[in-house]
Structure 1
Amino acid sequence: MADQQRQVQIRIDESRMTTSYANTIRTSTTQDEVVLDFGLNMPTQSQDGKQAMQFSVGSRVVMNWVGAKRLMMSLQQIVKQYEDQVGEIQLQRQPPQQG
C-alpha cells in the first residue's frame, strides 16, 4: 500500500499582531527555554553629562530550544539568500576615513 501524505491547512490569524522595530537583541537562557529581548539601542547622556547608550526593551519572546533551533535555521536560510543576492553583510561598521 502506498504511503499517503496528509495535508494540513494552516490558517494564520494576524488580527492581534503588532509590528515593532529593533536594532538590538539581548538573549538569555534556562535549561528549558531561550529568552529573546528585542529593543532599541540609542545614544543618551548619563547624569554626569557623558555619552552613554541605553537599551530600551520593546518586546520579549520566550521559546523552547526546538523552536529556537527552527528560528536559527530559518534565519540562516534567509540571510544566505540575501547575501547571495547583494553580498556579505558586514557586522562591524568601519570608522570614517580621516583626512
Structure 2
Amino acid sequence: MSDSDKSVEEQAAQQTGQQTVRVRIDQRDMDSSYANSFRPIASTEEILLDFGINQAVPAQGDSKSTEIIFKVSSRVIMNYYTAKRLAISLSQVVGQYEEQFGEIKLNAADRRLESKD
C-alpha cells in the first residue's frame, strides 16, 4: 500500500510511531433526561454531579411564599481528570454557541431587561 492510499490518520500514526485508536460509541442502553439544575459534590478522589429539575412549589404552611425543590434524576460520578476534560469541552461548546447567538446571561434580571427592549 502506497502512502497515497493510506488515510491521514494512518500516515500520521506511521510517522509518529503511534498506534491509531478508533472510538465506537454504543448508545443502545443510553437514557436521556432533561435537567435545568445540577449540584456538584466533591471528594478527594471523585466529583459527583447530581442533575435534576428545580421546581417552585408553594411553601408548606405559608401561602404567600414558595420554595424550590431540587428533584434529582441522575448522578454522574467521575474522577478529576474526566471532570477537567468535561469542563474544557463544555467551555468550548458554550463559547461556540455564544459566538453564534450572543452572550448567555446567567442573571435572570438581565434577561428580563433585554426582553423588554
TM normalised by structure 2 equals 0.76
Higher relative contact order (CA 8 A, sep 6+): 1
Q: Does residue 108 of structure 2 align to residue 93 of structure 1?
A: yes
Of Structure 1 and Structure 2, the greater strand share is in 1
2:81 is matched with which residue: 56, 66, 74? 66
Q: Which residues of structure 1 form unaligned runs of 5+?
A: none
Structure 2 CA distance, aligned partners of 1:30 and 1:3?
38
Q: Which residues of structure 2 form unaligned runs of 5+?
A: 1-14
Structure 2 CA distance, aligned partners of 1:64 and 1:72?
12
Map of 1:6 onto structure 2? 19
CA drift at 1:45: 1.7
* Paired-residue identity, %: 43
- Deviating beyond 6 angstroms after TM superposition, the runs of 4 or more aligned structure 1 residues are none
Secondary structure, in 3 states, of the residue corresponding to 1:94?
helix
TM normalised by structure 1 equals 0.89
Structure 2 CA distance, aligned partners of 1:61 and 1:37?
7
1:26 is matched with which residue: 39, 60, 67? 39
Larger radius of gyration: 2
